[in-house]
Structure 1
Amino acid sequence: MGITIKDIARICNVSVGTVDRALNNRPGISPKTKARILQVAKEYNYRPDYVAQSLARGRTMTIGLVLFDLYNRSFAQLANAVEASARKRGYSVDLVLTDKDPAIEKEVLNRLHARKSDGIILFPINEGPEFEEYLQSLGTPIVTICNRLSDHWDYVGINDRQAMKEATQHVLAQGYEHLVYICPPLAYRGVTNIYTQEERYQGCLEALAEVPEGRKVSLEVIEDKDYVEVLRRMPLEEQKTAIMCSCDAYALEVMHYVQYERQLRVPDDVGIIGFDSIDVLKYIRPELTTVEYNVEQMGCEAVNLLLERIESAGSQKDVTVKERKQRIIDYKIIQGNSL
């Protein structure tokens, strides 16, 4: 059995409270005494008893992070940002993945609740009153990110609709006559929560609705998960075509297909635009035009908002709709060489 705080206090002939202040860098202790305590702790290889600390604090000092998966680099970047921000505040992160499965989402939420996570950052795949009632029953502070549930929940995200509207207007300003919009999640409308993707699609439609009379612009929407297979059947060269992708992951696969299988030039033969500005784009040529928002800021804002709820000691049910907060992250269009 390792040395305890009581053992260190006895060796240094000080109180347990003094040892606690030294080990946790709190004020109210002389530099000489603090140095002596830290030296003894080092000599005896002291390791904190996190279980005991959790019992004393009434917290586990862990938060849950629920994401779809880590295939999309923006999710991985978000997870890194949440972990780094939480660690700075003394919390560890329990990352769980749902694989976009509503049933798995409930399973992992139950698991986080059973582990007594102090709070949860949730990218929800479920939606609706029944699911929200279930979340309320957990009695755990929850901050939603990207996919909105309702005004009953704290939320961090971007204005996806306006961002995609501006991105579409940017494409139209380049003189494109035919738009191919790729967004496989649209196939799950009414089945799962696709708030983010639906908002982006609606933004595209709003931009097209404002095209001046006399200008003809056609739109083709691909909701099939095998979107490259659908592209194979399209005569992309017949009109001035831009392929609009609802995330960069789709755009990169499309660019690879267009350039290496279809042997078309980007942007001379076909234009491509993405969304998310994931970090690997710096390795891609031509540079992809995309919508950028600060994923790291999103993660930090989610942690800060969640810890506000945790440290206010109020349960999920104690916060009224009027007290709910939302943090909307800025975005901008990054002009690459793919349009």
Structure 2
Amino acid sequence: MAKSQKSLSQTSLNQVGVQDIADALGVSRGTVDRALHNRDGVHPATRRRVLRAAGRLGYRPNLAARYLSSRKHITIGLSLPQEVSHFYDDVREGIFEAASAFEAFGVKILHRPYDRFGPHELESFRDILDEDVRGLVISPAYPSRLRPCIDQAARRGIPVVCVATDAPGSKRLTSVSVDPFVNGALAGELMGHLVSEKGNVAVFIGMHATTDHEQKLKGFRNSFEASCPRGRIVGVVEMHDESKEANEKCRKLLLQQPSIRGIYVSTANSLPVMRALDELGLAGKVKVICTDLFSAIVPLIEGGKIAATLYQRPREQGFTAFRAIVRFLTEGLRPPPQIRLDPTIIMRSNLSLFLQERYLRPTTSDGTR
């Protein structure tokens, strides 16, 4: 008995499986399996011992593995843009990392990427919906346009999870992102301290139609006005996450508004804005707060051309989104309506901590891989 008690206490420190219970009680794995699943061939006293040991050890059946092993495969559709690559590549990495845990049980990913955030997202969604998928992960640039398709999928019993932004008012299962209002508010408060009391600033967003972008703008406006009451937002620019458009619009605005002292770029499309500042000799003079962290902006942070960046933890977003949809399909665990991650402010003083992470990969000068 002493030997069994020792085994029980040791095993309870780790994740408990059927073999652990068998080892602790000195019985066969088959006996434990039959007892746990109420099958014939187990003495009632032995069954009680097994169930008591399972309770003490905190044994939980692997419902996902059991579900998946009973089917040939389960396919999750993935509809994400290829650009901006240094953000969405990391989201995909997180998704594939989460999927690897279920690969042995037949989980598959059907990926239908499209070129840029926004264009062709509807076609990609419809193409995947025509396939034999059990769920979808999407990043809706135009939620009002996608809402009927999301609701159609829900009526067919196909859950949809939004990642990086949301489709409010739709029947999506959940959305996973950093809190966009808080993200913008952090940038606004910081900008208020970076520019002078009467500093004029500009905000570069992807699209007003995108929930994430619009909420960041609202958060920034609210916080900047509170922390810098005499400052003004003299321009809000839609870039559509397109490099040439962002560069040209930034140059035009800076020439029209030479009083601008700060720029907030609320998406990962910051490199063309930084090029415009360089071309006009304003890099390092205009305070810049950008979004996300990738190799091409590291020297800009180190050199003081970028004051700070708001890191959105894209890999964690992807990992969390995929895990949520698989657990819903296999275990019936419904996630909360929104899963919000905390954004992190990265400045030169704490940059080295993040450079130790493996998510930083080389990019070209225009931010592509």
> Is the shorter-chain TM-score for this pair beyond 0.5, marking a shared fold?
yes
Question: What amino acid does structure 1 have at the position aligned with 2:100?
Answer: R
Taking a change above 3 Å as real, the CA distance of residues 98 and 272 of structure 1, as seen in their structure-2 partners, is: same
Q: Which runs of 5+ in 2 are unaligned?
A: 1-28, 31-66, 350-369
1:292/1:56 CA distance change after superposition, 3 Å: closer
In the alignment, which residue of structure 2 is the partner of 1:77? 90
Q: Is the 8 A contact 1:241 1:271 kept in 2?
A: yes
Task: Say which of 286, 294, 305 aligns to 2:303.
Answer: 286
Letter in 2 for 1:299: G
SS in 1 for 2:176: strand
Tell me the distance in 2 between the aligned counterparts of 1:283 and 1:311.
45
Taking a change above 3 Å as real, the CA distance of residues 211 and 310 of structure 1, as seen in their structure-2 partners, is same
Judging changes above 3 Å, is the alpha-carbon distance between structure 1 residues 140 and 256 closer, same or farther for their aligned structure 2 residues? same
What SS does the aligned partner of 1:221 have?
strand
Q: In the alignment, which of 199, 218, 222 is matched to residue 237 of structure 2?
A: 222
The answer for the alignment partner of 2:358 in structure 1 is none
Determine which of 345, 349, 369 is the counterpart of 1:333.
Answer: 345
The aligned counterpart of 1:39 is: none
Instruction: Rate the CA distance shift 1:146–1:106 in 2: closer, same or farther, 3 A.
Output: same
SS at match of 1:248: coil
Q: CA RMSD in A?
A: 3.2
Q: Give the aligned residue type for 2:76.
A: I
Contact 2:78 2:136 in 1 (8 A): yes
Q: Write the distance in 2 (CA, Å) between the matches of 1:278 and 1:112.
A: 30
Q: CA deviation at 1:158?
A: 1.2
**Equivalent residues of 2:204, 2:265 under 8 A apart:** yes
Residue in structure 2 matching 1:124, options 124, 140, 143: 140
- How many residues align? The count is 269
CA 1:199–1:307 in structure 2 vs 1: closer, same or farther (change >3 Å)? same
Q: Distance in 1 between matches of 2:264 and 2:119?
A: 31
TM superposition score normalised by structure 2: 0.64
- 1:185 maps to 207
- Mapping of residues 216-295 of structure 1, within 5 Å: 216-223=231-238, 226-233=245-252, 234-235=254-255, 238-239=258-259, 241-249=261-269, 251-259=270-278, 261-264=279-282, 266-267=283-284, 269-284=285-300, 286=303, 288=306, 289-295=308-314
1:163 paired residue among 157, 180, 183:
183
Tell me what 1:300 maps to.
319
Work out whether residues 121 and 144 of structure 1, in 8 Å CA contact, stay in contact via their aligned partners in 2.
yes
Q: Structure 1 regions of 5+ residues with no counterpart?
A: 1-26, 29-53
Deviation string 1:43-87 (CA, Å, 9 cap, x unpaired) is xxxxxxxxxxx9983453332111122333111110111012101
Give 1:283 deviation, angstroms. Answer: 4.8
**Residues 246 and 272, structure 2, Cα contact 8 Å, conserved in 1:** no
Indicate how the Cα distance of structure 1 residues 271 and 308 shifts in structure 2: closer, same or farther if over 3 A, else same: same
Measure, in 1, the Cα distance between the counterparts of 2:256 and 2:262.
9
SS class of match (2:194): coil
Residue matched to 2:152: 134
Closer, same or farther: CA 216–307 of 1 in aligned 2, 3 Å: closer
Deviations along 1:304-333, whole A, 9 cap, x unmatched?
Answer: 11111110369xxxx7xxx74432112121
In 2: Cα distance, 1:212 partner to 1:98 partner: 40
Alpha-carbon distance in structure 2 between the residues aligned to 1:113 and 1:227: 33
Q: TM-score, normalization: structure 1?
A: 0.69
- Tell me which residue corresponds to 1:145: 163
* Equivalent-residue separation in structure 2 for 1:56 and 1:237 (angstroms): 62
**C-alpha contact (below 8 Å) 2:83/2:115 kept by paired residues:** no
Q: Percent identity?
A: 16
Separation in 1, partners of 2:68, 2:177: 34
Measure the CA separation in 1 of the matches of 2:232 and 2:340: 31
Q: Which amino acid aligns with 2:329?
A: I
